[in-house]
Structure 1
Amino acid sequence: MYKLIAIDVDDTLLNDELIVTEGTKKALEAAIAAGVTVTLATGRMFASAQKIASQINLNVPIITYQGALVKTLLDGQVLYERNVPIDAAKELHAYCEKNGLHLQLYVDDVLYGAHDNDRIKTYSELTNIPYHIEPDTNKLIDRPMNKLLIIDEPARLDEIALELQPLIGDRVHITKSKAHYLEFMHKEGTKGHALQFMAEHLGCTMNETIAIGDAWNDREMIQAAGLGVAMGNAVDSLKALADYVTLSNNEDGIKHVIEKFVLKNAK
């Protein structure tokens, strides 16, 4: 019944030790052998997601930057891309400079920040991606970007999101991937839009798709998929929207979904 599975990476595919368990790898291999296309749907950069995909031997287009970029793994062909409107990026940049906020920019799949601080260092370690410091980020703001990201305390980010919504919310998609990450993409740079594109690209209907995630930035694809699955460790707001709640990322929740909804039907 299901032909496409889109899986979030952090706190979904990866457990808390940032690895894909052997049980999950075998389940994914079995799904692929049964003719199902398995892809990643992550807020991570392509360069970072590419390293995760290699762990599970994927050879398909993957959804990155929250859905703003769909790119093939083998030859790096861009199939779908949406960049943050430059006028909105400039307004966001000015707002962050005025308020002393940590803003990360992503240009040509390279991570930039204005200051070499613990926030960008921790992010770099988590995503296994190097970073570059450009003190004058005005030099970058006119270039195409798949997303921008503010890192701060969760409560402060909630305030910032409310302040920015009337300023640029008509032109960008604003979401949280983690409690302390506030991300900004094109309005059509969501995992839901990218999942729709992937289904059309592969020639399947949305009813034949499964989307699995844990955070609020997974909402659009959870709602769009034929079967929207929230992890056992997902935020409560996502669990309320999901069609099914699986086990946590530390309990092989992905494996459980594949065995229950894919392999059982394939037998």
Structure 2
Amino acid sequence: MTEYKLVAMDLDDTLLRDDLSVSEATKAAMAKAIAQGVHLTIATGRMFASAKQVAEQVGINVPIITYQGSLIRNLLDSQVLYERFVPKETARLLYEYTREHGLYLQTYINDRLYAFNDGEKLVAYAKQSNIPYIVEPEFDRLPEGHHTKLMIIDAPERLQELAPILRPLVGEDVHVTTSKPNYLEFIHREGTKGHALRFLASHYGIPMEQTIAIGDAWNDREMIEAAGLGVAMANAVPALREIADYVTLSNNEDGVRHVLEKFVLKT
């Protein structure tokens, strides 16, 4: 049986239950895995400031993967290990397109959330992520810094229509994906969770065969394909369950704990 030494877990709808909590049983399994020398990390589309709050609650103190894989940063000293950005000219193109078509767009600069529109979509997103935000309608009035990620929030049907239109607009250097059905995200082509998992495994000197990736949404595809064991949650989108090596229980049934107990923890 393979000895797995690195486990990357998505947050929303994977490690987190629907009420955004982590069960005590899952926390205990994670603590046991860490005590055995296994590296547990988070791989999320959330910004670092948001993911850090969850990581600290569950006892993770290693570098975590955020912004889909565009930023790997150490929790203890905030050292940046890996970073990729959306080109500024591409961010401007997205801004102009969304202004022209009345779409909601937000961007992330220096680990801060900037929205070009106020309203319900922004408030709901900020509440879920437990982060503050800044509303700035003008692109040229944004602060200096790189755009780590941009995101359009809209109805799933609308985003399904938009994705094939926007992919050629942003070009090959930008990866377009969905984390939740109503989130269409734009990151650097080397800013996926798959790229980040490979980097972190190399950082620790761990072969990819000894890695596990656990997720539920299509933005988890790259890391599930890259990992030695790719795991989809029972509540994952059907396309992800089809390509996974293993399907675990749902996020509300401690699916992450089940994976740790089945494949990682020593009896």
Alignment partner of 2:251 out of 241, 249, 252: 249
Contact 1:210–1:227 (8 Å) recurs in 2: yes
- Alpha-carbon offset, residue 141 of structure 1: 8.2
Contact 1:89 1:141 in 2 (8 A): no
Q: After alignment, is 231-240 or 167-176 more displaced? A: 167-176
Q: Which moved more, 1:149-158 or 1:165-174?
A: 165-174
State the distance in 2 between where 1:16 and 1:205 align.
33
Please point out which of 190, 204, 213 is paired with 2:192.
190
Alignment-derived partner of residue 112 in structure 1: 114
Distance in 1 of aligned mates of 2:106 and 2:257: 34
Distance 2:143 2:243 in 1: 36
CA offsets, 1:156-189, max 9 Å, x none?
0111111011211312000000000000000000
2:23 paired residue among 21, 29, 39: 21
Structure 1 segment 191-210 matched on structure 2, within 5 A: 191-210=193-212
Alignment match, 1:125: 127
Distance 2:45 2:252 in 1: 20
Aligned-partner SS, 1:250: helix
Once the two structures are TM-superposed, the CA of residue 102 in structure 1 deviates from its matched residue by 0.4
Q: CA distance change for structure 1 residues 141 and 132 in 2, over 3 Å: closer, same or farther?
A: closer
1:225–1:39 distance in 2 versus 1, CA, 3 Å: same
1:6 to 5, 8, 12: 8
> Are 1:113 and 1:137, in contact at CA under 8 Å, matched by a contact in 2?
no
Partner SS for 2:152? strand
Query: Per-residue displacement from partner, 1:115-161 (whole Å, max 9, x unpaired)?
Result: 22000000000000011111213322873011000000001011111
Normalising to structure 1: TM-score of the pair? 0.97
Alignment length, in residue pairs? 265
**8 Å Cα contact 1:62-1:73 kept in structure 2:** yes
Q: How far, CA to CA, are the matches of 1:115 and 1:164 in structure 2?
A: 20
CA-to-aligned-CA distance 1:64-98 (integer Å, 9 cap, x gap): 00000000001100000000012211111111111
CA distance in 2, matches of 1:137, 1:49: 26
Gap regions ≥5 residues in structure 2: none
1:144 is aligned to: 146
For 2:143 and 2:198, how far apart are their aligned partners in 1?
A: 29
Give the Cα–Cα distance (whole angstroms) in 2 for the partners of residues 115 and 156 of structure 1: 18
SS in 2 for 1:116: coil
Match of 1:188, SS state, is: coil
- RMSD over aligned Cα atoms: 1.0
Query: Corresponding residue for 2:103?
Result: 101
Give the counterpart letter for 1:189 in structure 2: G
Q: Is the contact made by 2:105 and 2:117 (CA closer than 8 Å) also made in structure 1?
A: no
What residue number does 1:64 align with? 66
Q: Which residue of 64, 69, 84 corresponds with 2:86?
A: 84
Ranges of 4+ aligned residues in structure 1 off by more than 6 Å: none
TM-score, scaled relative to structure 2? 0.97
Residue of structure 2 equivalent to 1:240? 242
Q: Identity rate of aligned residues, in percent?
A: 59
Q: CA deviation at 1:17?
A: 0.8
Maintained 8 Å contact 2:92/2:139: no
